[in-house]
Chains A and B, each alone.
Chain A
């Protein structure tokens, strides 16, 4: 006679899904650095909308279930205002749809040149509030229309990831489109979709 045996089954659910039409295009590599007039020390930073608005990038996986985890980036969307032309950054035209306009400007006097550093803090994960599940920002990257000054990249999850340095008096800018790198599969909530939210903070510093 044998004793009780444990009968355990592991069910792995996988869903077949349709490939989302590839939206990622190869972008032109433009270096967009502008020399600006020297003057009293001043910095300016624009990430997306102006006027104190926080740009919101949305990445929706619900139509991409068939490719989850296979490393094909899934592009995010952004409101038109995030990439719109603005008079405050008149050197730069409107971005293509779903891109976020980034502009950093640093000015100083000719006698006292300075160096400004643009950093981003992505140390706090994207979090699904109900379950506590998290996605690190290392799963989020971006494509760029400027391969020189603000090139394509990926968040490192560090508090002080350096994106650019600019010596006075200059202005740099680029259009970034954010994307989920899709190298790993993350769960939605039980019985439905799951929203993960997270913030990154850009910081321009000119000591």
Chain B
């Protein structure tokens, strides 16, 4: 003899609350030293 009941949980998370580790790869492959520019001087 079994009886079941369902419960729904709705969870609203704000994006601004997230501790999201965001990698910024804008500097990838950018040389730290530019030999040609140095030689031009």
B1 touches A43 (CB 8 A): yes
Q: Which of B1, B10, B13, B33 has the most CB of A within 10 A?
A: B13
| B2, closest chain A residue (CB) | A205
A191 touches B11 (CB 8 A): no
Interface of B is mostly: strand
B11 contacts which of A10, A44, A198, A200 (Cβ < 8 Å)?
Answer: A198
User: How far, in whole Å, are A76 and B26 apart by their CA atoms in the complex?
Assistant: 41
Q: Please judge, given known A-B contacts A15-B17, A185-B18, A194-B15, whether A202 and B5 are in contact too, CB under 8 Å.
A: yes
| A121, closest chain B residue (CB) | B4
CB distance from B40 to the nearest CB of A (A): 15
Query: Please, which residues of chain A bring their CB within 8 A of the CB of B5?
Result: 45-48, 201-202
Q: How many residues of A contact B (CB 8 A)?
A: 69
B19 touches A14 (CB 8 A): yes
Q: Please judge, given known A-B contacts A45-B3, A57-B7, whether A7 and B15 are in contact too, CB under 8 Å.
A: no
Query: Please, which residues of chain A bring their CB within 8 A of the CB of B26?
Result: 7
| B33, closest chain A residue (CB) | A2
Taking Cβ atoms with an 8 Å cutoff, the residues of A that contact B are 1-15, 17, 41-48, 54-62, 64-65, 68-69, 76, 100, 126, 128, 135, 137, 140, 178, 180, 185-207
Can you list 14 A-B contacts with CB-CB less than 8 angstroms, sorted by A residue number? A15-B16, A43-B1, A45-B4, A47-B5, A48-B5, A185-B19, A188-B17, A196-B10, A197-B10, A198-B11, A201-B7, A202-B7, A203-B4, A204-B3
Of all A-B residue pairs in the complex, the 7 with the closest CB atoms, nearest first, are A7-B27, A188-B15, A187-B18, A47-B5, A196-B11, A62-B14, A65-B17
